[in-house]
C-alpha cells in the first residue's frame, strides 16, 4: 500500500475542516434568519389583532350612537301630519343604517367613515325637527290666545269675520298668485291733535293705517284702491262718515276708510287716516286692509 504524502494529508485535513466550518456557518445563518422571520410574523400578527380589536371597539361605539339616535327618533313625536311623515322617513333611514353597520366588517374603514357622516346628518335633521315642532307649538299657543280674544266679539261680528275669511281664502286660491298685489309692514298708530304719536285713548284724535304695496312686475298696473276696516275693542266697525265700501267675493262690505294710489308694479307706501271718530275707548283696536282682490294684512293697537 502506497503511503500518503504527509503534506498532502495535512492539506486534505485542512480542506475538510474548512468545508465543515462553512456548512456550520450556513446552518447558523439559516437558523438566525428563521428566528427573525418568526419574530417578524409574530409582531405582525399581534399588531393586526390589536388593530382589529380597536376597529371593533370603534364600530361598537358607532353602533351604540346610532342605536341611541334611533331611540331618540322613536321618542320624538308631533301633532302635525306633515312632520310625522318626515319623521317616519327619517326613522326608516336610521333603521337601515343600524342594519348596514351591523352587517359591515369593522375593518372596512371607508364604510365606517360613511356611516359616521350619515349619523351626523341624521342628528342635524333631528335638531331641525325639534326646532320646527317648537316653533309650531309656539305659533299654536299664540293662535289659541288670539282665538280666545276673538271669542269676545259679538256673535254677528264673529259670523261676518268668519264668512269674510272664508271668502278671502277661497278667492286667494282662485287668483293666480303671481298677479295678486301683496303688502307688508302694516301698522296701526294713534295721533293727537298736534300730530304726535300717543297711546292714551283720551289724547287720540285720529288713527292712521300705514302699509306698503310690494313690488310685483306681474300685477296689473294702474289705480288701486286700498280699503281698511278698523274695529274698536268691542268689535264695532269704526265709521269715518264717508260711507266707504268694497266688494270681495261677490259680497259688499263696509269699510272704515279707503285711499286710491297709482300702482305701476313698484313698491308704494301709503297711509290711510281714520278721522271723525267722536271718542276712543281703552283696549285693543284691530285693522285689516283689503283690495278688491284679496286681504293685504292686519295690525293691532293697544290704547291705555
Least Cα distance to 95 among 84, 107, 103 occurs for 103
Total residue count of the chain as it appears in this document: 304
* 69: pLDDT strictly greater than 70: yes
* 303: pLDDT strictly greater than 70: yes
Per-residue confidence (pLDDT) for residue 52, from 0 to 100: 64
Q: Where are the alpha helices (DSSP H) in 109-254?
A: 109-150, 155-174
Question: For residues 196 and 51, which has the higher predicted lDDT (pLDDT)?
Answer: 196
Question: Are 244 and 254 within 8 A, CB to CB?
Answer: yes
92 vs 158: CA distance, rounded Å: 46
Percent of the chain with pLDDT over 90: 34
Rounded-to-10 torsion of CA 122, 128, 133, 136: -150
Lowest mean pLDDT among 5-14, 160-169, 211-220: 5-14
Least Cα distance to 283 among 227, 209, 230, 210 occurs for 230
> Is the CATH code 2.60.40.10 the one for domain 155-303?
yes
Question: Are 171 and 248 within 8 A, CB to CB?
Answer: yes
The confidence band for 171, taking pLDDT boundaries of 50, 70 and 90, is: low
* 40: pLDDT strictly greater than 80: no
What the block records as the C-alpha cell of 300 is 293691532
Per-residue confidence (pLDDT) for residue 212, from 0 to 100: 95
199 vs 302: CA distance, rounded Å: 7
Least Cα distance to 271 among 194, 193, 181, 191 occurs for 191
Percent of the chain with pLDDT over 70: 86
The confidence band for 271, taking pLDDT boundaries of 50, 70 and 90, is: very high
- Rounded to 5 degrees, what are φ and ψ at 18? -65, -40
Mean pLDDT of 70-95: 85
Burial label for 201, CB within 10 Å (0-12, 13-18, 19+), is: middle
* 240: pLDDT strictly greater than 90: no
The confidence band for 97, taking pLDDT boundaries of 50, 70 and 90, is: confident
**Average pLDDT for the chain:** 84
Question: For residues 43 and 233, which has the higher predicted lDDT (pLDDT)?
Answer: 233
60 vs 255: CA distance, rounded Å: 70
Task: Tell me the domain boundaries of the chain.
Answer: 7-131, 155-303
Question: For residues 201 and 35, which has the higher predicted lDDT (pLDDT)?
Answer: 201
Burial label for 239, CB within 10 Å (0-12, 13-18, 19+), is: middle
Per-residue confidence (pLDDT) for residue 259, from 0 to 100: 93
What are all long-range contacts of 69-78, with beta carbons under 8 Å and residues at least 24 apart? 69/94, 69/119, 69/122, 69/123, 69/126, 70/94, 70/95, 70/98, 72/126, 73/126, 76/126, 76/129, 76/130, 76/133, 78/129, 78/133, 78/136
Mean pLDDT of 156-163: 84
- Under 8 Å CB-to-CB from 112, ≥6 apart: which residues? 55, 58, 59, 62, 101, 104, 106
Per-residue confidence (pLDDT) for residue 42, from 0 to 100: 64
277 vs 206: CA distance, rounded Å: 7
* pTM for this predicted structure: 0.43
Amino acid at each position: 500500500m502506497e503511503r500518503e504524502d504527509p503534506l498532502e494529508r495535512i492539506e486534505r485535513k485542512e480542506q475538510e475542516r474548512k468545508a465543515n466550518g462553512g456548512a456550520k456557518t450556513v446552518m447558523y445563518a439559516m437558523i438566525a434568519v428563521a428566528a427573525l422571520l418568526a419574530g417578524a410574523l409574530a409582531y405582525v400578527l399581534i399588531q393586526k389583532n390589536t388593530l382589529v380589536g380597536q376597529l371593533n371597539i370603534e364600530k361598537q361605539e358607532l353602533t351604540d350612537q346610532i342605536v341611541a339616535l334611533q331611540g331618540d327618533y322613536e321618542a320624538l313625536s308631533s301633532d302635525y301630519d306633515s312632520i310625522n311623515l318626515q319623521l317616519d322617513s327619517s326613522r326608516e333611514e336610521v333603521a337601515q343604517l343600524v342594519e348596514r353597520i351591523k352587517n359591515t366588517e369593522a375593518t372596512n374603514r371607508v364604510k365606517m367613515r360613511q356611516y359616521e357622516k350619515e349619523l351626523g346628518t341624521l342628528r342635524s335633521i333631528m335638531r331641525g325637527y325639534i326646532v320646527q315642532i317648537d316653533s309650531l307649538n309656539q305659533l299654536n299657543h299664540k293662535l289659541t290666545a288670539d282665538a280666545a280674544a276673538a271669542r269676545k266679539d259679538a256673535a254677528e261680528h264673529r259670523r261676518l269675520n268668519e264668512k269674510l275669511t272664508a271668502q278671502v281664502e277661497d278667492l286667494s286660491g282662485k287668483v293666480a298668485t303671481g298677479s295678486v298685489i301683496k303688502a307688508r309692514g302694516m301698522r296701526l298708530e294713534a295721533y293727537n291733535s298736534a300730530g304726535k304719536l300717543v297711546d292714551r285713548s283720551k289724547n287720540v284724535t285720529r288713527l292712521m293705517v300705514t302699509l306698503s304695496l310690494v313690488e310685483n312686475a306681474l300685477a296689473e298696473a294702474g289705480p288701486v284702491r286700498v280699503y281698511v276696516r278698523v274695529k274698536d275693542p268691542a268689535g264695532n266697525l269704526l265709521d269715518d262718515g264717508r260711507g266707504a265700501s268694497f266688494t270681495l267675493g261677490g259680497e259688499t262690505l263696509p269699510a272704515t276708510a279707503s285711499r286710491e294710489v297709482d300702482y305701476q308694479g313698484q313698491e308704494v307706501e301709503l297711509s290711510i287716516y281714520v278721522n271723525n271718530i267722536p271718542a276712543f275707548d281703552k283696549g285693543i283696536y284691530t285693522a285689516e286692509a283689503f283690495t278688491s282682490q284679496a286681504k293685504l294684512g292686519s295690525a293691532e293697537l293697544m290704547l291705555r
